Structure 1
Amino acid sequence: LETGDVIFVPTHESRVRIAGAVLRPAIYETKPGETLYDIIKAAGGFLPVAALERVKVDRVLPADARTTQTTAHVTIDVPLANGLVPPFRLEDGDVVHVDALTEAAEQYTVAITGMVQQPGNYPWHPGMTLRQLMTLARGPKIGVDLREAEIARLPSDRSKGQLAITQRVPLDSTYLFERDSAGNYLGPPGLSFPAHGTAAEVPLDAYDNVLIFKQPDFELQRMVTITGEVMYPGTYALTSKDERLIGIIQRAGGLTARAYPEGIRFIRPVESRGRININLPKAMKDHRVRDNVIMQPGDSVQIPEYQPSVRVTGAVNAPGSVLYQKGASLDYYISAGGGFAQLAQKGQTSVRYANGEVQTRKKWLFFSSNPQPGPGSEVYVPAKDPNAPHTDYVALVGAIAQVLASTLAIIAIAKP
């Protein structure tokens, strides 16, 4: 082209728009005699997700075909024979719609739940069996009960409010897919299942819901940990659901000569229970007491070494450790730590015992209750915030005295 050239685009003879599951949906100019096959070919053909059963064509009726009793638009259903496009002739203004396959949620499906690797909804097809569905779900989990399964099926009669009809179907050991090269099952021991080939194939209907059961009381080992001053510290598997603390200590060889049983730290992570106060000496003397607790998965037991000292920290003049003296009071250890500092909050003094328990000094009017430190304890004296606002009691007393003096003067003047 050169400067000043004029390009002439002739008017179109007819145009057809194609939309939906084709490679290049657009508006195409058609020649006389072109068909539906030609326009789909020009659009690049069907996408893999195209529904190849039928195609819709929206058409505007010519003026001489319109009446007051009909609309100007009609929709023509064009069936496809085995996905082949028929020689359907197109007219100017036609709109071709190629539908896509429906989403999985809108198709016929079946569901499987319970003890399978990948529970969920799967597409259903005529002749589908439970074994095929189990294969799609990648087989059973460890602990599955393959004696039978339950199928919940849609009822044919809902007049009485029934939502589903349930039935139990037999299974057998062939549903255990994890096997070695010799065909032996790879997995933990458990219930014995029916032998190979004893269960018939189970056909499924659309929208069936299959439940694969778990073996009663089946679970992997429950583990607890015991550390510190026992003969054989480590992680132990509980032998039963009612095994207790003393049983675990006995399996760990008992306490060493350096153990301090009063300082036991028992932590239970189940439901975020945290630290639990345990009187271990009492439980060791009498296994029937409540301190001999039933162990739970994840429990942690720590038996500390005997520490014949008490640590004094916080707002004291000489923080440090003081040798434990049996029967000595809280004031004894504070005095050994140099006494209270100037900013000490004396009434908030606390004692953290070796087992993690904390007790705080209590005072009410003329009565007070002081916790008594034990071996391995820590005495903590909190300090006041020097920048926090505080009451000036000298100024307060002076103000009250001035108010009283003024009141007495007014009363004296008011007397006749």
Structure 2
Amino acid sequence: MKFNISLKIIILWFLMAVSSFAQVDETEFEGQQDARIREQAAEYSRSRDIGAQDRIIDPERYIVGPGDELTIFFYGGYTRENRIIITPEGSALIPEFGEINLGQVTLKEAKQKILDALGRRYRNVEISVTLSKLRKLKVSVDGEVNLPGIYTVTSMDRISEAIQLAGGLTEDGSERNIRVIRNGQVMLADLLSFARGGDNDANPYLLEGDKVFVPPRRTKVGLVEIYGAVQLPGEYEYVSGETINDLIMLAGGITLDANLNSASLVRFDEAGDSSITLNIPLEAILEDPGNPGNMLLMPDDRIFIRSIPDYHRKAQVTIEGEVLYPGVYAVKEDTTTLTEVIAWAGGFTEEASLAEARMFRSGYEAIRDTELDRQIKLSVDQLSEIEREYLLLKSDPQQGRVSIDFVELFSNGARGLDVRLKDKDSIIIPKTSLSVRIMGRVLKPGLLTYKSGADVKYYLNQAGGLTKSADKGKIRIIKGASGAILKPSSRVQIEVGDEILVPEKKDVNWWEVTKDVGLFLANLATLYIVIDQILE
């Protein structure tokens, strides 16, 4: 009993220790990740130029505030320069004059107020006012950002820069529905529209007391989608007030092959349990976004823009190796022939080996072979002889090889063997190797010098002979011109570029053979007894 209690305590202690270590590892990982984010945010803060601006300040839009520095120049009969900083109460204290209220006014209005006030006092003196230094201000950034908090920015910083100071958006942060609370009013920022379309109003400048809140991004419902002939198809967050044209522009615009007469919008009905399809006058909308067909989008709308079939379809083939001008050639699919392309490439060089020339056709490797998938999952013992042979052939890396006899076609003029080309065909013309490759269970496998009229036995001797594990009955010749696998015979002539394969002899499992023979004899004996009883 005491032993069982002790064992339980030990197991419980072990489980608690494992759990503690896992929690420590997880906490340590999260701490490292948080430290990286903080370092990135700090680096951004150090590297950014506080005085840098993305445009010239517009006096009619810029709102002056506490901390802005204005410089007043007096020249003419009276020369002087005054630098004044707007107080926290929004006033400008001008020496020898007094206070001027500049709260919540534009730069243009602030300049005019100062000029009007000083002009009444200083006669025959020219006065000019300029904004000489931007104020700093504090804003809060909260929600789905990595480092929420209060940050110091300038009056020419945008919302995106405050978010960057806060470590950027989290994985779940919304890019398009960021809320900015300003003087009790809520406005929206759309950083994706700013980044892709340059919409400055979607990423406004910050003001004192702004509160930036990043909500979670919608992931399943409440989205809008656009597919087909646009630059950036996919799902996008829904933004109230957005139109069909707005979403198309957000998706990078249409592609060149867009069918302007074939676009549709799929929308759920009011009940939300079925959808309706509406035709979109795409051409009219793109020409005039004010067109009535440029409808406001609703959550979960989907836009489909079809492509023009075979638009600017390009067909080309590649020729490598021993032709005068190897490279890529444009062809007319199913019309241009192999002989025509070889002629365009200047014909063969003197070192070209037609016997070893090959042509491959792409596309077959992309077709899924379910039978091959099934066989790959099985062990070798579960495959029949036919299935093993099928698996071997289907695993051949030259599956896309086109059967062409280059010698007959080009040397003997057999034009009936000419082939019409397809897009992405690849033609390879190697140098004459004057060699035969021997592989497998021989003492010295590799390339051997070709000898006209020599048979398999000659090349086996040149390779040092067979090893003890060689299977003499399974020796095969692989033709270089066609890839055909042939059994050696007097009718099969070995040519330049051919390969000789000497496979390994399979080990005989005598125990399995004995069991099979015993089982056969037992069945035979049983059958004999049954027949004998019947005959009696």
Q: TM-score, normalised by structure 1?
A: 0.52
Matched residue, 1:376: 497
User: Take 1:134 and 1:198, find their aligned partners in 2: how far apart are those partners?
Assistant: 11
Alignment-mate amino acid for residue 324 of structure 1: K
Matched residue, 1:112: 226
Following superposition of structure 1 onto structure 2, how do residues 17-416 of structure 1 map, counting pairs within 5 Å?
103-105=217-219, 108-125=222-239, 127-155=241-269, 163-171=275-283, 175=286, 196-197=287-288, 200=291, 202-206=294-298, 207-218=300-311, 221-240=314-333, 242-272=335-365, 273-284=399-410, 285-287=413-415, 289=417, 292-297=419-424, 299-312=425-438, 314-316=440-442, 321-326=448-453, 328-335=454-461, 337=463, 339-355=465-481, 357-361=483-487, 371-382=492-503, 384=505
User: Take 1:167 and 1:141, find their aligned partners in 2: how far apart are those partners?
Assistant: 19
Check conservation: 2:475, 2:502, Cα contact below 8 A.
Answer: yes
* Structure with more of its chain in helix, by fraction: 2
Deviation at 1:102, TM superposition (A): 7.3
User: Take 1:165 and 1:257, find their aligned partners in 2: how far apart are those partners?
Assistant: 65
* Compared CA separation, residues 157 and 250, structure 1 to 2 (3 A): farther
User: Take 1:259 and 1:238, find their aligned partners in 2: how far apart are those partners?
Assistant: 23
Alignment-mate amino acid for residue 419 of structure 2: N
* Compared CA separation, residues 316 and 106, structure 1 to 2 (3 A): closer
User: Take 1:380 and 1:46, find their aligned partners in 2: how far apart are those partners?
Assistant: 72
User: Take 2:141 and 2:497, find their aligned partners in 1: how far apart are those partners?
Assistant: 80
Alignment-mate amino acid for residue 379 of structure 1: I
User: Take 1:312 and 1:145, find their aligned partners in 2: how far apart are those partners?
Assistant: 57
* Compared CA separation, residues 380 and 135, structure 1 to 2 (3 A): same
What SS does the aligned partner of 1:302 have?
A: strand
Check conservation: 2:450, 2:495, Cα contact below 8 A.
Answer: no
What SS does the aligned partner of 1:236 have?
A: strand
Gaps of at least 5 residues in structure 2 are 1-139, 145-182, 186-213, 366-398, 515-536
User: Take 1:310 and 1:108, find their aligned partners in 2: how far apart are those partners?
Assistant: 67
Q: State the Cα deviation string for residues 267-316 of structure 1 (Å, max 9, x = none).
A: 33423243333223445545554x6143232x322112334443445545
Alignment-mate amino acid for residue 167 of structure 1: N
Alignment-mate amino acid for residue 163 of structure 1: S
Check conservation: 1:226, 1:302, Cα contact below 8 A.
Answer: yes
Check conservation: 2:331, 2:421, Cα contact below 8 A.
Answer: no
Check conservation: 1:311, 1:378, Cα contact below 8 A.
Answer: yes
Check conservation: 2:316, 2:329, Cα contact below 8 A.
Answer: yes
User: Take 2:270 and 2:439, find their aligned partners in 1: how far apart are those partners?
Assistant: 77
User: Take 1:288 and 1:150, find their aligned partners in 2: how far apart are those partners?
Assistant: 50
Deviation at 1:148, TM superposition (A): 4.9
Q: Higher relative contact order at CA 8 Å, sep ≥6: structure 1 or structure 2?
A: 1
What SS does the aligned partner of 2:275 have?
A: coil
User: Take 1:318 and 1:107, find their aligned partners in 2: how far apart are those partners?
Assistant: 68
User: Take 2:261 and 2:322, find their aligned partners in 1: how far apart are those partners?
Assistant: 48
User: Take 1:375 and 1:46, find their aligned partners in 2: how far apart are those partners?
Assistant: 75
Q: TM-score, normalised by structure 2?
A: 0.42
Q: State the Cα deviation string for residues 302-355 of structure 1 (Å, max 9, x = none).
A: 1123344434455456766243314x4333443555654554321122223334
* Compared CA separation, residues 257 and 135, structure 1 to 2 (3 A): same
* Alignment root-mean-square deviation, CA: 4.4
Deviation at 1:114, TM superposition (A): 0.9
Check conservation: 1:344, 1:384, Cα contact below 8 A.
Answer: yes
Question: Please, which moves more after superposition, 104-113 or 252-261?
Answer: 104-113
User: Take 1:350 and 1:125, find their aligned partners in 2: how far apart are those partners?
Assistant: 69
* Compared CA separation, residues 312 and 130, structure 1 to 2 (3 A): closer
Q: State the Cα deviation string for residues 208-237 of structure 1 (Å, max 9, x = none).
A: 321122122125644432112212111233
* Compared CA separation, residues 145 and 286, structure 1 to 2 (3 A): farther
User: Take 1:304 and 1:151, find their aligned partners in 2: how far apart are those partners?
Assistant: 55
* Compared CA separation, residues 231 and 103, structure 1 to 2 (3 A): closer
Question: Please, which moves more after superposition, 312-321 or 278-287?
Answer: 312-321
User: Take 1:214 and 1:116, find their aligned partners in 2: how far apart are those partners?
Assistant: 9
Deviation at 1:135, TM superposition (A): 1.7
User: Take 1:127 and 1:199, find their aligned partners in 2: how far apart are those partners?
Assistant: 14
Alignment-mate amino acid for residue 274 of structure 1: G
User: Take 1:237 and 1:355, find their aligned partners in 2: how far apart are those partners?
Assistant: 26
Gaps of at least 5 residues in structure 1 are 1-44, 50-81, 85-99, 176-195, 363-367, 397-416
User: Take 1:154 and 1:318, find their aligned partners in 2: how far apart are those partners?
Assistant: 73
Aligned residues with identical type, % of pairs? 28
User: Take 1:262 and 1:360, find their aligned partners in 2: how far apart are those partners?
Assistant: 16
